[in-house]
Structure 1
Amino acid sequence: MQNRLNILSFIQNKGRVRAEDLRREFGLSRVSIHKILLKLQEENKIQKFGTSPLVFYGPKTENEYHNQYLGIDSKIIDFINQNYLYVSPKGEQLTGFEGFTAWSNKTNQSVEKNAYDYFQRMTFYNAFKKNGLIDGINKLKNTFDKIGLNKLYYLDFYSIDRFGKTRLGQMLLYAKQSQDENLTKVISNETKPSIEALIKRLNITSIGFVPPTVRREVQFMKVLERNLNLPLTKLSIVKIKSQVAVPQKTLSKLEDRVENAKNSIIVNDDRVHQNILLIDDAVGSGSTLNETALQIREKRICKGKIYGLAIVGSFKGFDVISEV
């Protein structure tokens, strides 16, 4: 009982905290912390924000929100609590309705109108997902004359009109820009179930991670590869070092992106593979994944099919993503 009261007091004083914060503060086991958190939720004293593994617990504020925004349906508030992430100019990660309110106020927009519009737009975009994946192969076929991939998937859109980057898009951008290894681990943990399910469904036997172009102390793709720890044959893909490193995001013309991918990526592997999954962090034009697949076919080292998977992708016909 005392532990529960102490944890409740801590949450009320600190605001939103993670289970790991509580474990470090009180020295209790993870199982004990989660039992207490579950009990406090059942007692309507705290509420949960976000989805696993990026979950926060905060004081119960639902009544406060309903008093302030009486016109907003509770299911919409719950939806926003589960799906929204705002990173403030100060670098604060504000999840759920708190973040949504902060963004709306920051941009001088109506919280009520934004909430309904956001729910409707997200419902529209989520309709493109099947089994948690977005099929982007038709966009690729409409962009390139020669296609190396059998299928292209991404886990979410990078951004949506009017509301900007999605939750996963925000996390990816700041994980790369800030070289935050912990945030990369969060992305890995969150995306791993979908990736493993896809591997099983497509009978994937080999996997290849597209190497980064820009040198960073913490490389997102390397950390992602290590954290996913997939028990598959690894396809060797390398980036050729040029006099000046030219990231895909700096190129606005499609033909430049194709030329860049064709001359900077080498499939350094002569083994014969069955079904291959190529993973990249973000799909803009799709040229990197497609050119890598074309190289594999030219080398005749794949007896089966080649699939592409990106963490996030553009909604508008593989428009260029120039931030990540």
Structure 2
Amino acid sequence: MITNTRDRIVEYIRESNQLRAHDLARLLNLSGTAIHKQLKKLINEGELEKIGRPPKVYYVLASKKVAKPKLVNPALLRVINTRYLYISPTGEAKNGWDGFLAWCDKTKQDPIKTANEYLSTLNKFDKFKKNDLIDGMPKIKNTFKNVFLDKLYYLDFYSIERFGKTKLGQILLYAKQSQNTSLINQLIIQIRPEIIKVIKENSIDGILFIPPTVKREIQFMKELEKQLALPSRILSVTKIKTEIIVPQKTLSKLEDRIENAKKTIIVEDKMRYKNVLLIDDAVGSGATMNETAKQIKNTNLVNGEIIGLAITGSFKGFDVISEV
């Protein structure tokens, strides 16, 4: 007979697969405070894991423990701890080396060897960065016959070869899809300094936030506009509602993307600006940015430059830089 509270908790969860704290408190005749204290201790010891978010949090037995190999290169460890994020199929976020180990275990790859290959891949893609920004103009000039943007920047690529979505790409995707305000706030805090830097360096006096297509209760672009609290004037823009909503990412042909952007985004502003910054969460072909810039130029709203800035952008269309 098991009498130890700790062991009884583990046994109850083993029998039921998953239990909530109040279920355990009832079974063990303990207070909520006492049961949470025990559960916290068991999680810290690696015996249990919790899944879900309040108010529905379940406790399960921890996955099998795997010995963690140590990365002896401190410089490489710093890079991974800063730039890697793994989000599991169940929605658990693991940063840095712990996340990298989880991904390697999931994909059955040697973590030490793969870590060095990850660094090489990062270095390859980082060659496109200058002053922490990726210049998207060469890509957009190769894509469109007529380009109406004067400059286009990405804060990072959405994904990189073999390793998938970048840390910024991961946070952006799940912040939008889950409408998780904590994740949205985390992302905005992270990117705000770079956006402010672009505004100052380019003497921006007007900002246009590309409106979202997919209807959500919490719109990321609206939250971005509100929380950035930028000093420049915000241009008025409307997203035309159609009977059937067609997101840009669902269109494979470039001409369809151009038509979609041309007929669904209307710049309504009547002010005059020196330099305007267009901000979008992600850029694929660049059709939305380019068509919006075209409207602004055709209505003579700007006498200077129109600059595009995306949180993430697609690598497709960039010329690969090879080692000399």
1:57 aligned partner: none
What is the aligned partner in structure 1 of residue 285 from structure 2? 285
* Structure 1 Cα separation of the partners of residues 235 and 70 of structure 2: 53
Corresponding pairs, count: 259
Residue 21 (structure 1) aligns with: none
The alignment partner of 2:143 has SS state of: coil
Q: C-alpha distance in 1, partners of 2:240/2:151?
A: 26
Residue in 2 that maps onto 1:86: 86
How far did 1:222 drift? 0.4
Alignment partner, residue 153 of structure 1: 153
CA separation of 1:126 and 1:170: change in aligned 2, threshold 3 A:
same
1:117-143: CA deviation from partner (whole Å, max 9, x where unpaired): 001111221222111110001100000
Aligned to 1:115: 115
Tell me how far 1:147 sits from its aligned partner: 0.8
Deviation at 1:13, TM superposition (A): 6.3
- Identify the residue that residue 52 of structure 2 maps to in structure 1: none
Compared with structure 1, are the counterparts of its residues 78 and 15 closer, same or farther at alpha carbon in structure 2 (3 Å cutoff)?
A: farther
Match in the other structure for 2:36: none
Identity %: 54
Change beyond 3 A, Cα 1:304–1:11: farther
In structure 1, the residue matched to 2:12 is: none
Alignment partner, residue 45 of structure 1: none
Deviation at 1:14, TM superposition (A): 3.9
Rg larger in 1 or in 2? 2
Q: Structure 1, unaligned stretches of length 5 or more? A: 1-9, 17-63, 319-324
TM-score by length of 2: 0.77
Give the secondary structure class of the aligned counterpart of 1:311: strand
Q: Which amino acid aligns with 1:126?
A: D
Partner of residue 193, structure 1: 193
Task: State the shift of 1:15 in Å.
Answer: 8.5
SS at match of 1:316: coil
For residues 11 and 121 of structure 1, the distance between their equivalents in structure 2, rounded to whole angstroms, comes to: 39
The CA deviation string for residues 147-204 of structure 1, in whole angstroms up to 9 with x for no partner, is: 1100000100000000000000000000111111221111111001011011100000
The residue number in structure 2 matching 1:162 is 162
Question: CA offsets, 1:208-267, max 9 Å, x none?
Answer: 000001110000100111111101111111100111111001101111000000000000
Could you say what secondary structure the match of 1:142 adopts?
Answer: helix
Aligned residue type for 1:261 = A
3-state SS, counterpart of residue 308 of structure 1: strand
In the aligned structure 1, how far is the partner of 2:41 from the partner of 2:166?
27
- Cα deviation, 1:53-107, whole Å, max 9, x if unaligned, reads xxxxxxxxxxx85xx346x522212211111000001110000000000001101
The aligned residue for residue 243 of structure 1 is 243
The CA RMSD over aligned residues, in Å, is 1.8
- Between the aligned partners of 1:198 and 1:111, the Cα distance in structure 2 is 37
User: What is the aligned partner in structure 2 of residue 233 from structure 1?
Assistant: 233
Amino acid at match of 2:197: A
Work out the CA distance in 1 between the residues paired with 2:130 and 2:124: 13
**In 1: Cα distance, 2:113 partner to 2:41 partner:** 30
Q: What TM-score, normalized to structure 1?
A: 0.77
Q: How far is the alpha carbon of 1:12 from its aligned partner?
A: 11
